[in-house]
Amino acid sequence: MSKNYEENCIFCKIAQGQISSIKVYEDEDILAFLDIDPSSKGHTLVITKEHFANFLMVPRNLLDKAFEVAQKIGQALITTLHAEGINIITNVNEIAGQSVFHFHIHVIPRYSQDGLKLNFSPKQIEKFNLPALANQIKTGL
């Protein structure tokens, strides 16, 4: 059993094999499987087997491993399914669209006719003071 495990987490159960999934990659730390409700053909989720609530909580070594696998899968989606592009997305918190609170990376292959719209609008009406904003963010690094 992994070090971090949450009793009521569906992705922990998938990582432990208690709930089945269609796997595309597995090693001791990382699992990748097809999204049950895909946004496009080949939509894959990459997770750490250990439970971390979101991207911000994942230790650096595991984050590196997860993104390495996401990159390989992205390359494979292009060579095997002939995807023309890839969206890599990881949602943090409900406001950003996170519905499963176990870290995962969406690897979403894109095709010219997929009809998928990732909509970052509306743009903010407010005019930000970008240099001041950058300085404010830097204080947290």
Residue whose CB is less far from ligand 5GP, 118 or 125: 118
| Catalytic residue numbers, as ranges | 104
Least separation in angstroms between CB 46 and ligand 5GP: 11
Residue whose CB is less far from Zn ion, 43 or 51: 51
Instruction: Tell me the C-alpha distance between 74 and 57, whole Å.
Output: 23
Instruction: Tell me the C-alpha distance between 50 and 11, whole Å.
Output: 9
Sheet holding 23-26, edge to edge: 23-26, 30-34, 44-48, 104-110, 85-89
Identify residues 57-96 at the interface with ligand 5GP (CB under 6 A).
Answer: 91
Contact residues toward ligand 5GP (CB under 6 A) are: 10, 21, 33-37, 45, 91, 97-100
